[in-house]
């Protein structure tokens, strides 16, 4: 009887120690997440904090088969909420760089005379200067529209 009580106390002590360790690790992970947002430590930190709290309240659950089940039940909504939160904080943005194909149908202004069969002409499109060519000569200052793009070169026509 005394041996059984000693085992129960040892198990309860182990569960309490493990619960406290989960809480400490969860808090440390939250601090790292705060200092470096986007590390995505919020999810495991939340799961560890919840398991630690449950372990302190119900030590027998922490060392049972229910512990991983509870972890998954906490993990799924926490993951979904965290993803939604990050999407609100930093919504997806269009690419920062302009690719040639995105220039088609954009308008610009001739900076350096555009001549047929030559890439020496320059056009300014959305504050970026591009090498340009056209089917006919287009003088400086004229408005143009991009009809084709390949790499950093565009083919334009006068508007």
- pLDDT digit string (tens) for 46-97? 999 999 999 888 888 888 898 899 999 999 998 898 888 878 877 777 666 6
- Whether the Cβ atoms of residue 83 and residue 46 lie closer than 8 Å to each other: no
The answer as to whether 1 is a domain residue is no
Which residue among 56, 89, 122 closes a domain?
Answer: 89
pTM: 0.49
The answer as to whether 80 is a domain residue is yes
Domain count, the chain: 2
- Whether the Cβ atoms of residue 123 and residue 141 lie closer than 8 Å to each other: no
The answer as to whether 94 is a domain residue is no
- pLDDT (tens digit per residue) in 101-147: 788 999 999 999 999 988 899 999 988 899 999 999 999 999 999 99
> Are both 113 and 40 inside the same structural domain?
no
Which residue among 38, 65, 89 closes a domain?
Answer: 89
The answer as to whether 55 is a domain residue is yes
Owning domain of residue 48? 7-89
> Are both 55 and 121 inside the same structural domain?
no
């Amino acid at each position: 009887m005394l041996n059984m009580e000693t085992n129960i106390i040892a198990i309860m002590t182990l569960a309490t120690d493990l619960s406290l360790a989960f809480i400490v690790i969860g808090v440390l992970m939250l601090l790292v997440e705060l200092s470096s947002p986007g590390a995505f430590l919020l999810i495991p930190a939340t799961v560890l904090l919840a398991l630690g709290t449950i372990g302190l309240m119900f030590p027998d659950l922490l060392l049972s088969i229910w512990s991983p089940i509870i972890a998954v039940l906490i993990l799924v909504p926490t993951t979904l909420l965290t993803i939604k939160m990050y999407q609100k904080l930093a919504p997806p943005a269009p690419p920062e760089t302009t690719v040639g194909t995105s220039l088609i149908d954009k308008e610009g202004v001739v900076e350096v005379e555009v001549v047929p069969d030559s890439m020496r002409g320059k056009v300014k499109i959305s504050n970026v200067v591009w090498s340009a060519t056209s089917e006919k000569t287009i003088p400086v200052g004229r408005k143009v529209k991009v009809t084709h793009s390949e790499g950093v070169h565009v083919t334009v026509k006068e508007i």
